[in-house]
């Protein structure tokens, strides 16, 4: 006991099994939450960028049929498209189908188109906010898990203290230090998750708003088209 090594490794390997389990859980949660954080960052940035690009091409005066055809080709080549293209694609397809029927009531056409776009929108929103619930639960739960490990470790170290006649700080300090690692790990997992969750929730909100605005604008264009006939 006297040659006690206070390095992190020694503290972790000397910890009791439960505390070690807690630490392992927290480490795993931290790894997973970082995976989510990076993946979401890539995904959301990509979504925002592709939205801007699509908006640019959309408002550049390109023929909508041409755009739709391009998207169709792209879908056949690379599988289903993501983001705002999907909304546009779904809406335009529905519009075309309804408009090609002979006695198409303009209101019915618009209603069908809006519905199709709404469905596509909610799909897109779902895609945007995948994994965010996981980040939220890591953010809120991992401090508690860490705290549990710490409380358990401190409990044990105080129980050891009861056996000692002359209690000095040095008899409890290693145990408490060891136990506090669990809290540190909990916070280490939680803090990035909280930040990322808040940031991504805001970003999803923004992108979603953009999609909705776009779908309304697109709907108004189609509306003009269907009523001008």
Partner 1 sequence: MGNFLSYAAAVLVSIAVHVLVVGALLVNWQPTTERIVMQPQFIEAKLVELAPKKKRQIDRPVKPKIDPARKKREADQRRAVQKQKAAALKRQQEQALKAEALEKKQAAEAERKRIATEFAKTLAEEEAQINAQEDDRIANSYRQVIQQRLSENWSRPPSARRDMETVIRMQLVPTGRVVGVTVLLSSGDIAFDRSVEQAAFKAEQFFELQQMAPEMFERRFREVDVAFSPRDLRL
Binding interface with partner 1 (CB under 8 A): 1-9, 27, 30-32, 34-39, 42-43, 46, 78-79, 82, 164-166, 168, 170-171, 188
DSSP-assigned letters across all residues of 134-147: HHHHHHHHHHHHHH
Minimum distance of partner 1 from residue 188's CB (angstroms): 8
Instruction: Indicate the DSSP class of residue 216.
Output: H
In degrees, rounded to 5, the angle at the alpha carbon of residue 160 between the alpha carbons of residues 158 and 162 is 75
d(CA 109, CA 96): 9
24 vs 221 by CB, closer to partner 1: 24
Minimum distance of partner 1 from residue 38's CB (angstroms): 4
98 vs 189 by CB, closer to partner 1: 189
Minimum distance of partner 1 from residue 169's CB (angstroms): 10
112 vs 143 by CB, closer to partner 1: 143
30 vs 215 by CB, closer to partner 1: 30
- H/E stretch holding 164: none
CA–centroid distance for 98 within its chain: 36
């Amino acid at each position: 006991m006297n040659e006690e090594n206070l390095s992190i490794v020694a503290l972790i390997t000397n910890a009791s099994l439960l505390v070690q389990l807690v630490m392992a859980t927290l480490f795993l949660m931290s790894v997973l939450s970082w995976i989510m954080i990076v993946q979401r960052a890539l995904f959301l940035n990509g979504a925002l960028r592709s939205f801007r690009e699509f908006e640019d091409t959309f408002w550049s005066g390109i023929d909508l049929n041409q755009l739709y055809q391009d998207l169709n080709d792209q879908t056949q080549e690379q599988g289903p498209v993501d983001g705002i293209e999907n909304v546009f694609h779904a809406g335009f397809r529905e519009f075309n189908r309804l408009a090609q029927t002979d006695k198409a009531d303009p209101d019915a056409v618009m209603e069908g188109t809006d519905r199709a776009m709404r469905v596509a929108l909610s799909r897109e929103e779902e895609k945007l906010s995948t994994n965010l619930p996981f980040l939220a639960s890591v953010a809120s739960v991992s401090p508690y898990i860490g705290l549990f490990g710490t409380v358990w470790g401190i409990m044990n170290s105080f129980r050891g203290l009861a056996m000692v006649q002359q209690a000095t700080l040095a008899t409890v300090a290693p145990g408490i230090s060891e136990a506090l690692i669990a809290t540190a790990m909990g916070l280490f997992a939680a803090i990035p998750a909280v930040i990322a969750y808040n940031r991504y929730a805001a970003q999803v909100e923004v992108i979603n708003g953009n999609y909705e605005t776009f779908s309304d604008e697109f709907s108004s264009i189609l509306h003009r088209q269907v009523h001008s006939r």
